[in-house]
């Protein structure tokens, strides 16, 4: 990821030496930016973590922690560690200088090490990167970035759960169709639908908290994971580094941290993305005019739905969530393949991880916040929900009628067949199912018209809906600071 921008220079002279006339600024350089994350998708907070500068500073932080650990066990002078720590900042080690040196020596970590060492005064330079291999720095820096990123992801999920909880409370009594196979099933409430979504997000928060202890692992055990380059105090050095950085150590490393950890990370982000796509797909479906029960917020004064169909009000944010979620899930396959390295490691994982890690985090964070916005501002149409219920001509209350007949002594299978035939006739004739049932001698023997009519109020056939909503809302409340 980079920054797109035009350089500027003064226009060249054409023989007219009017120095008092303002000179136009014309483009000097256009940095070619390929990835839409640079200019279209993602929030700055997350992009800053995975930027070139963010990644370099994380590696410098690891180098500083390593020097402090060496000083802590008496391997190097305390003054040298303090000098390395002072110089391990972007103020002294710039990405541009590191990149320039890498182009010469073709090794990014050694380029960083050489630039850092060149900034250190006294004897400190000779202790930079002492005993370490490249992936001690890379993997531990990645763990730092992952830890920061997971904190942002968790906050986003909590915010989304809170928004969904508020909509659940607001619409706990808003009756609508529950649909199966895309067809009318039984009545539910829109609050229950929001509760289902909120419960799924709560599970993701739980998964994240449980997985964090495995995902934020670094290593400081040298070239093939034996720690030989650190001498007798290798374990002590690794423990001190990880403690300073707030990470856990890889208990049995090779040259790298086990890539099963990264595969788990991608899987977790893919799960979150799949849930968000599921939720956004529901919004898209319910916004279809033939259903028309909800709609994304739309600025009727300025927002444009189509370049030619001026009447359009499209669920563009929900569609955006769906598209980006698919990109997040695409990281799972290369993430699993990166677990399969030759012997103690090869380099086949490196290039893809430079793409996967920032993209997965930036896009997951992006769609979480977009989903939060969608549901916070979602327009709900209760009257349309009731209209769609009425269009079923009472057939969605068939289960209730069947069970009521069973309570009156009719066999379950007989009751099912009576209700089934009545529903088919109501659908084909356009009659209300209650009117059809009233023509059944078997039904009239067991139930009065008044009793039958009482079975067709959808708001009184919602089962444990309110208890389900309350149970999930109680969990959401525990996420919020008191």
**pLDDT, tens digit, 9 for 90 and up, residues 235-268:** 999 999 999 999 999 999 999 999 999 999 999 9
Q: Which residue of the set 181, 307, 311, 343 is catalytic?
A: 181
Q: Provide the pLDDT confidence category of residue 27 given band limits of 50, 70 and 90.
A: low
Residue 167 has pLDDT above 60, yes or no: yes
Local structure of 434: helix, strand or coil: helix
Q: Which residue of the set 306, 429, 459, 471 is catalytic?
A: 306
Local structure of 180: helix, strand or coil: strand
Give residue limits of the domains in the chain. 6-37, 45-134, 140-175+185-232+241-299+312-388, 392-458
E strand or H helix that includes residue 187: strand 183-189
Residue 3 has pLDDT above 50, yes or no: no
Q: Output the pLDDT for position 28.
A: 53
Instruction: Note whether 204 and 275 are within 8 A (CB).
Output: yes
How many CB atoms are closer than 10 A to CB 442?
13
Q: What secondary structure letter does DSSP report for 289?
A: T
Residue 9 has pLDDT above 50, yes or no: no
Instruction: Note whether 315 and 329 are within 8 A (CB).
Output: no
What CATH architecture does domain 45-134 belong to? Orthogonal Bundle (1.10)
The region of weakest confidence among 5-14, 68-77, 289-298, 322-331 is 5-14
Cα(304)–Cα(208) distance, integer angstroms:
38
Range 140-175+185-232+241-299+312-388 has CATH code 1.25.40.10: no
Q: Is 181 part of the annotated catalytic residue set?
A: yes
Instruction: Note whether 122 and 83 are within 8 A (CB).
Output: yes
Share in percent of the chain as helix, strand, coil (round to 5): 65, 5, 30
Q: What are phi and psi of 184, to 5 degrees?
A: -60, 130
Q: Is 359 part of the annotated catalytic residue set?
A: no
Q: Provide the pLDDT confidence category of residue 482 given band limits of 50, 70 and 90.
A: low
Q: What proportion of the chain, given as a percentage, has pLDDT over 90? A: 87
303, two tokens? 């927002």
Record: fold of 392-458: Ribonucleotide Reductase Protein R1; domain 1 (1.10.40)
E strand or H helix that includes residue 399: helix 398-407
How many CB atoms are closer than 10 A to CB 479?
16
Rounded to an integer, the average pLDDT of 457-477 is 97
132, two tokens? 């370490």
Q: Each residue of 99-156: pLDDT tens digit?
A: 999 999 999 999 999 999 999 999 999 999 999 999 999 999 999 999 999 999 999 9
Strand partners, 187: 177
Q: Provide the pLDDT confidence category of residue 29 given band limits of 50, 70 and 90.
A: low
Closest CA to 208 of 300, 301, 270, 165: 270
Q: What proportion of the chain, given as a percentage, has pLDDT over 70? A: 92
Prediction pTM value? 0.90
Q: Output the pLDDT for position 14.
A: 40
Q: Output the pLDDT for position 5.
A: 40
Residue 465 has pLDDT above 80, yes or no: yes
Question: Higher model confidence: residue 22 or residue 135?
Answer: 135
Closest CA to 43 of 368, 271, 280: 368
Q: Provide the pLDDT confidence category of residue 304 given band limits of 50, 70 and 90.
A: confident
Question: Higher model confidence: residue 480 or residue 370?
Answer: 370
Rounded to an integer, the average pLDDT of 220-244 is 96
Cβ-based neighbours of 316, under 8 Å, separated by 6 or more: 296
């Amino acid at each position: 990821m980079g920054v797109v921008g035009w350089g500027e220079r003064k226009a060249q002279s054409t023989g007219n030496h009017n120095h008092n006339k303002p000179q136009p600024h014309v483009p000097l350089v256009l940095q070619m930016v390929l990835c839409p994350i640079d200019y279209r998708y993602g929030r700055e907070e997350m992009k800053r973590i995975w930027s070139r500068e963010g990644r370099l500073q994380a590696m410098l932080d690891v180098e500083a922690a390593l020097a402090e650990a060496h000083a802590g066990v008496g391997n190097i002078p305390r003054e040298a560690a303090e000098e390395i720590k002072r110089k391990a900042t972007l103020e002294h080690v710039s990405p541009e200088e590191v990149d320039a040196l890498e182009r010469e020596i073709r090794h990014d970590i050694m380029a960083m090490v050489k630039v850092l060492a060149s900034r250190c005064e006294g004897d400190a330079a000779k202790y930079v990167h002492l005993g370490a291999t490249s992936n001690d720095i890379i993997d531990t820096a990645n763990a730092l970035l992952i830890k920061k990123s997971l904190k942002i992801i968790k906050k986003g999920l909590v915010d989304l759960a809170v928004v969904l909880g508020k909509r659940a409370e607001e619409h706990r009594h808003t009756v609508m169709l529950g649909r199966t196979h895309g067809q009318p099933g039984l009545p539910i409430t829109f609050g229950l639908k929001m509760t289902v979504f909120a419960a799924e997000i709560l599970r993701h928060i739980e998964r994240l908290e449980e997985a964090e202890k495995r995902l934020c692992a670094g290593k400081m055990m040298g070239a093939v994971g034996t720690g030989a380059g650190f001498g007798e105090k290798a374990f002590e050095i690794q423990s001190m580094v990880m403690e300073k950085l707030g990470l856990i150590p890889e208990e049995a490393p090779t040259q790298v941290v086990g890539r099963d950890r990264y595969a788990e990370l991608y899987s977790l982000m893919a799960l979150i993305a799949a849930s968000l796509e599921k939720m956004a797909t529901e919004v898209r479906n319910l916004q279809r005019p033939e259903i028309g029960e909800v709609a994304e917020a739309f600025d009727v004064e300025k927002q444009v739905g189509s370049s030619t169909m001026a009447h359009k009000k499209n669920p563009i944010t929900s569609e955006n969530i769906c598209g980006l979620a698919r990109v997040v899930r695409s990281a799972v396959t290369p993430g699993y393949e990166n677990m399969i390295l030759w012997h103690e490691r090869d380099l086949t994982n490196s290039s893809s991880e430079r793409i996967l890690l920032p993209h997965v985090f930036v896009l997951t964070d992006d769609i979480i916040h977009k989903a939060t916005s969608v549901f916070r501002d979602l327009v709900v149409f209760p009257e349309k929900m009731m209209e769609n219920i009425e269009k079923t001509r009472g057939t969605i209350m068939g289960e209730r009628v069947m069970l009521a007949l069973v309570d009156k002594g009719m066999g379950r299978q007989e009751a099912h067949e009576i209700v089934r035939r009545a529903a088919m006739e109501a659908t084909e004739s356009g009659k209300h199912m209650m009117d059809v049932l009233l023509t059944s001698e078997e039904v009239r023997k067991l139930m009065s018209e008044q009793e039958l009519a009482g079975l067709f109020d959808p708001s009184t056939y919602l089962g444990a809906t309110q208890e389900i909503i309350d149970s999930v809302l109680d969990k959401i409340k525990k996420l919020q600071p008191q």
